[in-house]
């Protein structure tokens, strides 16, 4: 590994995010970016009533993906 490449490597959270199904990673990324909930629902294609549950599953999946990344790392 060249020293210059390290800076370009995504951090552990981003690596884990990329492993998730797109709707989950998209929802979390948009939420972190401060996008309004109704807009997130439109992007992800769900009803607003389902957003809370989607976040919960997404966070659980992210946690699992991160621990997997760490154990492989």
Partner 1 sequence: MLSCEDIRLNLRSCRDGSYALSVHLRWPLTGRAEELRAIDAAMSDPDSAGVVVCGAAGVGKSRLASEALDSAAKKGFEVRRAVATSSARALPLGAFAVWTSAGLDNLQLVRGVIDSLTAAPQGTAVIVGIDDVHLLDDLSALVLHQIVQRRAAKVLLTVRDGEAIAPAVQDVWRNGQFERLDLQPLSADETTALLCAALGGPVEPAAARRLWKLTRGNALYLHHIVEQEVSDGRLVEEHGYWRWSGEPVVAPALIELIESRIGALPPAIGAVIDALAVGEPIELRSLARITTPAAVEEADVRGLITLERVDGAMEVRIAHPLYGEVRKERAPPTRLRRLRGLVAKELAAGDRRDDARIVVRRATLMVDSDLDPDPELFLTAARTAIRLDTPLAERLARAAVLAGGGMESQLTHCYCLVWHGRAAEAERELATLVEHATTDLERVQIAEQRAHNLFWTLRRPADAEAVLDDTGRQLTEPAARHLLAAPRAAIYADLGRPWQAVHAGTEALAEASLPDHLVVLASWGLVGGLGMVGRADEIGAVSTRGYAAAARAPNAAVMRMGLAYRHMIGLKLAGHLHEAERIALEARRESEDSWFPHSSLILLGQAALAQGNVDRALRWLREARASLDALGDLGGWLFRCRLSLTQALAMAGQVSAAKRALAELAENRHPAFAFLEPELILARGWVAAAEGALSQALVHARQAADLAADAGQLGYEVLALQTAVAFGDRGAADRLATLATKVDGPRAGVAARFAAALEAGDGAELAAASEEFERMGDLVAAADAAAHAAIAYRRQELRGSALGCSTRAETLAEHCGVSTPALRQASERLPLTDREREIVMLLGEGLSSPAIADRLTLSARTVEGHIYRAMAKTSTTSRDELAALLPRDKTRSHN
Binding site for partner 1 (CB under 8 A): 1-2, 19-24, 46, 49-50, 52-54, 56-57, 60-61, 64
Residue number, 10 or 53, with CB nearest to partner 1: 53
* Shortest Cβ 15–partner 1 spacing (Å): 12
Query: What is the token pair recorded at 32?
Result: 């972190």
Answer whether 46's CB lies under 8 Å from 57's CB.
Answer: no
Which lies closer to partner 1 via its Cβ, residue 35 or residue 69?
A: 69
Tally DSSP H helices, then E strands, for the chain.
5, 0
CB within 8 Å of 33: residues ≥ 6 apart: none
CB of 41 to partner 1, least distance (A): 10
């Amino acid at each position: 590994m060249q020293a210059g490449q390290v800076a370009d490597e995504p951090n552990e959270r981003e690596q884990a995010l990329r492993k998730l199904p797109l709707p989950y990673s998209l929802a979390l990324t948009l939420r972190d970016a401060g996008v309004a909930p109704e807009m997130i629902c439109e992007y992800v294609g769900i009803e607003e009533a389902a957003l809370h549950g989607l976040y919960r599953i997404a966070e659980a999946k992210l946690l699992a993906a991160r621990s997997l990344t760490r154990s492989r790392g």
